[in-house]
Amino acid sequence: MSYVITGNPGVGKHTITNEIGKLLHLQIIDINSIAQEFGLFEKGNETNDVDVAKLEKVIKDTILHPVLFVGHLAPYVLTPDKIKKVIVLRKNPYDLISIYKKRKYSKEKIKDNLGSEALGVIFHDAISQFGTEKTIQIDVTSQSIQETTKKVNEAIKGETKTEEVDWLTMIAEKNDLNEFFAH
Protein backbone atom coordinates (compact mmCIF):
# COMPACT_ATOMS: atom_id res chain seq x y z
CA MET A 1 0.00 0.00 0.00
CA SER A 2 1.18 3.49 -0.88
CA TYR A 3 1.08 6.80 0.97
CA VAL A 4 0.14 10.28 -0.20
CA ILE A 5 1.27 13.74 0.86
CA THR A 6 -0.94 16.43 -0.62
CA GLY A 7 -2.10 19.98 0.00
CA ASN A 8 -2.29 23.31 -1.74
CA PRO A 9 0.76 24.81 -3.45
CA GLY A 10 3.21 26.34 -0.98
CA VAL A 11 2.45 24.20 2.08
CA GLY A 12 5.72 22.23 1.88
CA LYS A 13 4.61 19.00 0.21
CA HIS A 14 7.84 18.30 -1.66
CA THR A 15 10.14 19.23 1.22
CA ILE A 16 8.30 16.97 3.66
CA THR A 17 7.87 14.19 1.10
CA ASN A 18 11.64 14.11 0.54
CA GLU A 19 12.22 13.77 4.30
CA ILE A 20 9.57 11.06 4.72
CA GLY A 21 10.82 9.23 1.63
CA LYS A 22 14.30 9.02 3.17
CA LEU A 23 12.94 8.05 6.57
CA LEU A 24 10.70 5.25 5.28
CA HIS A 25 12.88 4.26 2.31
CA LEU A 26 10.04 4.79 -0.17
CA GLN A 27 10.30 5.79 -3.80
CA ILE A 28 8.74 9.22 -4.37
CA ILE A 29 6.33 9.72 -7.25
CA ASP A 30 5.61 13.37 -8.09
CA ILE A 31 2.18 13.44 -9.71
CA ASN A 32 2.84 16.77 -11.46
CA SER A 33 6.07 15.40 -12.95
CA ILE A 34 4.18 12.44 -14.39
CA ALA A 35 1.57 14.80 -15.87
CA GLN A 36 4.36 16.87 -17.45
CA GLU A 37 6.28 13.84 -18.69
CA PHE A 38 3.19 12.49 -20.46
CA GLY A 39 2.09 15.92 -21.77
CA LEU A 40 -1.17 15.96 -19.84
CA PHE A 41 -1.23 19.66 -18.87
CA GLU A 42 -3.44 21.86 -21.03
CA LYS A 43 -1.31 24.22 -23.10
CA GLY A 44 -1.35 27.98 -22.56
CA ASN A 45 -3.16 27.76 -19.27
CA GLU A 46 -1.51 29.25 -16.19
CA THR A 47 -3.77 27.26 -13.86
CA ASN A 48 -2.06 23.97 -14.78
CA ASP A 49 -5.28 22.16 -15.64
CA VAL A 50 -4.60 18.52 -16.38
CA ASP A 51 -6.49 15.68 -18.03
CA VAL A 52 -7.16 13.78 -14.79
CA ALA A 53 -8.69 10.72 -16.49
CA LYS A 54 -5.55 10.17 -18.59
CA LEU A 55 -3.28 10.90 -15.61
CA GLU A 56 -5.18 8.42 -13.43
CA LYS A 57 -4.74 5.73 -16.11
CA VAL A 58 -1.01 6.46 -16.55
CA ILE A 59 -0.44 6.19 -12.79
CA LYS A 60 -2.53 3.02 -12.48
CA ASP A 61 -0.65 1.38 -15.37
CA THR A 62 2.87 2.33 -14.24
CA ILE A 63 2.95 2.17 -10.43
CA LEU A 64 3.02 -1.43 -9.34
CA HIS A 65 4.63 -1.31 -5.87
CA PRO A 66 4.20 0.81 -2.70
CA VAL A 67 5.43 4.38 -3.14
CA LEU A 68 5.07 7.83 -1.61
CA PHE A 69 2.95 10.05 -3.87
CA VAL A 70 3.22 13.83 -3.71
CA GLY A 71 1.00 16.41 -5.36
CA HIS A 72 -2.13 18.48 -5.04
CA LEU A 73 -3.81 16.37 -7.75
CA ALA A 74 -3.72 13.20 -5.62
CA PRO A 75 -7.42 13.21 -4.65
CA TYR A 76 -8.38 13.43 -8.32
CA VAL A 77 -6.10 10.81 -9.88
CA LEU A 78 -5.40 8.12 -7.27
CA THR A 79 -7.77 5.34 -6.29
CA PRO A 80 -8.35 4.39 -2.64
CA ASP A 81 -7.67 0.67 -3.10
CA LYS A 82 -3.89 1.14 -3.31
CA ILE A 83 -3.56 3.93 -0.71
CA LYS A 84 -2.98 3.27 2.98
CA LYS A 85 -2.81 6.85 4.32
CA VAL A 86 -3.28 10.35 2.91
CA ILE A 87 -1.67 13.29 4.68
CA VAL A 88 -3.04 16.73 3.77
CA LEU A 89 -0.67 19.53 4.77
CA ARG A 90 -2.45 22.77 5.68
CA LYS A 91 -0.95 26.23 6.13
CA ASN A 92 -2.36 29.55 7.27
CA PRO A 93 -3.47 31.33 4.08
CA TYR A 94 -1.99 34.62 5.31
CA ASP A 95 1.42 32.90 5.28
CA LEU A 96 0.82 31.59 1.76
CA ILE A 97 0.40 35.08 0.28
CA SER A 98 4.13 35.86 0.40
CA ILE A 99 5.00 32.40 -0.95
CA TYR A 100 2.72 32.88 -3.95
CA LYS A 101 4.03 36.39 -4.61
CA LYS A 102 7.61 35.05 -4.49
CA ARG A 103 6.59 32.44 -7.05
CA LYS A 104 5.16 35.26 -9.19
CA TYR A 105 1.66 33.77 -9.33
CA SER A 106 -0.94 35.97 -11.01
CA LYS A 107 -3.52 37.67 -8.77
CA GLU A 108 -6.14 35.22 -10.02
CA LYS A 109 -3.98 32.19 -9.25
CA ILE A 110 -3.15 33.58 -5.80
CA LYS A 111 -6.83 34.03 -4.97
CA ASP A 112 -7.72 30.59 -6.34
CA ASN A 113 -5.10 28.90 -4.17
CA LEU A 114 -5.82 31.02 -1.09
CA GLY A 115 -9.53 30.35 -1.42
CA SER A 116 -8.89 26.64 -1.80
CA GLU A 117 -6.76 26.58 1.35
CA ALA A 118 -9.24 28.72 3.30
CA LEU A 119 -12.09 26.37 2.41
CA GLY A 120 -10.07 23.18 2.87
CA VAL A 121 -10.88 21.98 -0.64
CA ILE A 122 -8.07 19.44 -0.92
CA PHE A 123 -8.83 18.00 2.53
CA HIS A 124 -12.51 17.72 1.62
CA ASP A 125 -11.71 16.12 -1.73
CA ALA A 126 -9.21 13.72 -0.11
CA ILE A 127 -11.88 12.58 2.36
CA SER A 128 -14.37 12.18 -0.50
CA GLN A 129 -11.90 10.05 -2.47
CA PHE A 130 -10.09 8.09 0.26
CA GLY A 131 -12.42 8.28 3.29
CA THR A 132 -12.01 9.66 6.80
CA GLU A 133 -10.14 6.60 8.08
CA LYS A 134 -7.28 7.09 5.61
CA THR A 135 -7.16 10.91 5.52
CA ILE A 136 -5.43 13.14 8.07
CA GLN A 137 -4.81 16.87 7.93
CA ILE A 138 -1.86 18.50 9.65
CA ASP A 139 -1.44 22.22 10.28
CA VAL A 140 2.16 23.00 9.30
CA THR A 141 1.93 26.75 10.00
CA SER A 142 5.07 27.91 11.86
CA GLN A 143 6.37 24.32 12.07
CA SER A 144 9.97 23.44 11.26
CA ILE A 145 10.76 20.77 8.69
CA GLN A 146 11.74 18.45 11.54
CA GLU A 147 8.52 19.07 13.48
CA THR A 148 6.37 18.53 10.40
CA THR A 149 8.29 15.40 9.38
CA LYS A 150 7.75 13.97 12.88
CA LYS A 151 4.01 14.72 12.73
CA VAL A 152 3.66 13.20 9.25
CA ASN A 153 5.58 10.09 10.27
CA GLU A 154 3.33 9.70 13.33
CA ALA A 155 0.27 10.10 11.10
CA ILE A 156 1.54 7.44 8.70
CA LYS A 157 2.09 5.07 11.63
CA GLY A 158 -1.44 5.77 12.89
CA GLU A 159 -0.17 7.41 16.09
CA THR A 160 -2.06 10.67 15.66
CA LYS A 161 -5.46 11.93 14.60
CA THR A 162 -6.42 14.64 12.16
CA GLU A 163 -5.93 18.20 13.39
CA GLU A 164 -8.72 20.75 13.46
CA VAL A 165 -8.11 23.47 10.88
CA ASP A 166 -10.59 26.30 10.28
CA TRP A 167 -9.07 29.14 8.30
CA LEU A 168 -12.45 30.40 7.09
CA THR A 169 -13.62 31.47 10.55
CA MET A 170 -10.33 33.28 11.16
CA ILE A 171 -10.56 35.09 7.81
CA ALA A 172 -14.21 36.04 8.40
CA GLU A 173 -13.43 37.34 11.89
CA LYS A 174 -10.74 39.58 10.37
CA ASN A 175 -13.27 40.73 7.76
CA ASP A 176 -10.88 39.65 4.98
CA LEU A 177 -13.15 37.46 2.84
CA ASN A 178 -12.62 39.75 -0.17
CA GLU A 179 -8.86 39.23 0.11
CA PHE A 180 -9.22 35.48 -0.36
CA PHE A 181 -12.18 35.08 -2.67
CA ALA A 182 -12.95 36.56 -6.07
CA HIS A 183 -16.20 38.46 -6.30
- 3-class DSSP state for residue 46? coil
What does the H/E/C string look like for 166-180? CHHHHHHHCCCHHHH
Q: Is residue 143 part of a domain?
A: yes
pLDDT in tens, the chain (183 residues): 899 999 999 999 999 999 999 999 999 999 887 777 766 666 555 555 766 777 777 777 666 678 999 999 899 888 898 899 999 999 999 999 999 999 999 999 999 999 999 999 999 999 999 999 999 999 999 999 999 999 999 999 999 999 999 999 999 999 999 888 865
Q: What is the CATH number of the domain that holds 38?
A: 3.40.50.300
Model's pTM, two decimal places?
A: 0.89
Quote the number of domains for the chain. Answer: 1
Q: Which residue range forms the structural domain that includes residue 9? A: 2-91+122-165
Q: In the sheet where 83-90 sits, what is the strand order? A: 28-30, 68-70, 2-7, 83-90, 135-139
Has residue 170 been placed in a domain?
no
Residue 19 domain flag: yes
Q: How many CA atoms lie within 13 A of 72 on its CB side?
A: 17
Q: Which 8-state DSSP code applies to residue 32?
A: H
